[in-house]
Structure 1
Amino acid sequence: EVEWLYPNEGSTGGGDILTVAGTNLGTLKRMKNVELRCRVDATETATSYLHDDLVTCVTPPRGEGFVHVEFTVNGETVQSESRSRYPKADGYQYIAAGKIESIFPVYGEVGGGAMIDIRGEDLKPSYRCRVGEIAMGAHFVSSTLVKCEAPAHYEDGVTVDVSNPNGVFNQFSDVEFQYAPRASVESIHPRMGNSQGGTVMTVSGRNFASTNALRCRVGTVETSGVW
């Protein structure tokens, strides 16, 4: 029977690897015509031995909720009357997988440092984020917002993802963050304007991003820019 498993929670999308310890698994491993499998709720999945009495199996997709994990041998549930060496811990909690809907900003400098707001659904405090191939901790704000700092990267577009509750990335989003060279201002026209504001300023320079998220900062005040 199952003595303990790790982790004890994961995504409703499945695909998490469970490490499961149990009694007499080594004996079953050496027997012919015996197939040991994990049963997660009502779904059986294949096992792989790490060593005697320790196996791994992959969680199937399922809705949110608490389930039990059992062993089956040739389709039959395994029960043991022997006393376990450990407090029995065969429960597993399915948690809704986080979904990314949008990020802001969508552009950042190749040197990194941009703070990315990731908005979505069912985001959790235990989530990590990944920008391109680099994973990092996320600052949890709410179930619809986490923040991550963009690492340095060469000029390119990369996807932004969030992990499952165990910090494992087993799904990919189609939300992209674009790395660009640092923008620089070379000239502005006109150089004077009304103190009440409203003057249209033309800014010339290099590496401006062609995006409706482009912003200008005049003193300490940010305004929308048009590329």
Structure 2
Amino acid sequence: MPISPNQGSTGGGTLVTITGTNLANTSAVKFGGKSATSVTNVSPTQVTAVSPSGTGTVGVTVTTPGGTSNPVPFFYVGAPFKSSLGTDSGPLAGGNTITVNGTGLSTATSVSFGGVTATPTVTSDSSLSVTVPAGAAAGPVSVSVTTAGGTNNGLSYTYVDTPTIGTIAPDEGPTSGGTAVTISGTNLDSTDSVTFDGVAAPFSVINTTTLSAVSPPGTAGAVDVVVTNPAGSATAVGGFTYVTGPGI
């Protein structure tokens, strides 16, 4: 007498289908010592029932005028607990794969990002990976994981849009470096790095449209300035010019 699914939430409410023989006129379905909250005779070979609350592994039995069946195991699963996301931000377009760490994740069937669901790949009871779907807009969304034990919320993921560079001021400085510049643009608040001709520059985020940075040493001439965030990079081609000091 197989049942499907054979596991469900400790809080109950799982609709299970029981298949067997001589199931007509079923009068009761029990999960361990508890009666199912709802029983429906579908046919002489099939009955549906809604599991009551419970814990651990219990035997499911069906009672008809002819007697009570042998028990078939049903496993109660606790709701998942998510402890962290491997990466908590990424591009608005989605497509990047992140990990979710926690407990009770072995039966995960979906991960929701602000209501948009994705199917995970379960690594273990404490870890899964999932490809992030595209977001509707830049900003934070809630993340929830659904398993046989229920749905758990509590984590946040931030969608980030690609940065742009509008102006760099001043746009020139000595080859020795040390020039404080202001970079204006959009989506700059999640900046990971700023480079001048491929050399990392110290920077600080002022707000979503402004960065301050200090030019590293470089060679004379115009160089590209690149701003990078989790969604991608913006390049100001020839955006800063290194100038050689005067000599006498």
Structure 2 Cα separation of the partners of residues 111 and 184 of structure 1: 16
Task: Give the superposition deviation at 1:40.
Answer: 0.9
Q: Deviations over 1:85-110 (max 9, x none)?
A: xxx77111233432112325333333
Task: Give the superposition deviation at 1:217.
Answer: 6.0
Identify if the C-alpha distance between structure 1 residues 27 and 172 changes in structure 2 by more than 3 Å, giving closer, same or farther: same
Structure 2 Cα separation of the partners of residues 160 and 134 of structure 1: 9
Contact kept in structure 1, 2:100 and 2:128, CA below 8 Å: yes
Q: Is the radius of gyration larger for structure 1 or structure 2?
A: 2
- Determine the structure 1 residue equivalent to 2:238: none
Match of 2:5 among 7, 24, 33: 7
Identify if the C-alpha distance between structure 1 residues 92 and 172 changes in structure 2 by more than 3 Å, giving closer, same or farther: same
Match of 1:145 among 119, 127, 131: 127
RMSD (Å), alpha carbons = 4.0
Task: Give the superposition deviation at 1:152.
Answer: 1.4
Q: Does 1:79 align with 2:68?
A: yes
Matches within 5 A, 1:172-187: 172-187=152-167
Task: Give the superposition deviation at 1:135.
Answer: 3.0
Contact kept in structure 2, 1:15 and 1:170, CA below 8 Å: no
Q: Does 1:208 align with 2:188?
A: yes
Q: Does 1:40 align with 2:38?
A: no
Task: Give the superposition deviation at 1:19.
Answer: 1.0
Structure 2 Cα separation of the partners of residues 194 and 15 of structure 1: 70
Structure 2 Cα separation of the partners of residues 223 and 71 of structure 1: 70
Identify if the C-alpha distance between structure 1 residues 137 and 180 changes in structure 2 by more than 3 Å, giving closer, same or farther: same
Q: Does 1:61 align with 2:50?
A: no
Task: Give the superposition deviation at 1:38.
Answer: 2.2
Gaps of 5+ in 1: 29-35, 81-87
Structure 2 Cα separation of the partners of residues 56 and 200 of structure 1: 71
Task: Give the superposition deviation at 1:7.
Answer: 1.4
- Determine the structure 2 residue equivalent to 1:164: 147
- Determine the structure 2 residue equivalent to 1:136: 118
**What letter corresponds to residue 193 of structure 2 in structure 1?**
C
Q: Deviations over 1:139-164 (max 9, x none)?
A: 33444332211111311643322221
Identify if the C-alpha distance between structure 1 residues 42 and 150 changes in structure 2 by more than 3 Å, giving closer, same or farther: same
**What letter corresponds to residue 25 of structure 2 in structure 1?**
T
Contact kept in structure 2, 1:47 and 1:57, CA below 8 Å: yes
- Determine the structure 2 residue equivalent to 1:83: none
Structure 1 Cα separation of the partners of residues 150 and 67 of structure 2: 30
Report SS of the residue matched to 1:163: strand
Structure 2 Cα separation of the partners of residues 222 and 72 of structure 1: 75
Structure 2 Cα separation of the partners of residues 192 and 131 of structure 1: 45
- Larger % of strand: which? 2
Gaps of 5+ in 2: 208-248
Structure 2 Cα separation of the partners of residues 98 and 140 of structure 1: 13
What is the total number of aligned residue pairs between the two structures?
A: 201
Percent identity over the alignment is 25
Identify if the C-alpha distance between structure 1 residues 220 and 15 changes in structure 2 by more than 3 Å, giving closer, same or farther: farther
Q: What's the TM-score once normalised by structure 2's chain length?
A: 0.61
**What letter corresponds to residue 99 of structure 1 in structure 2?**
F
Identify if the C-alpha distance between structure 1 residues 77 and 184 changes in structure 2 by more than 3 Å, giving closer, same or farther: farther
**Greater relative CO (CA pairs within 8 A, separation 6+):** 1
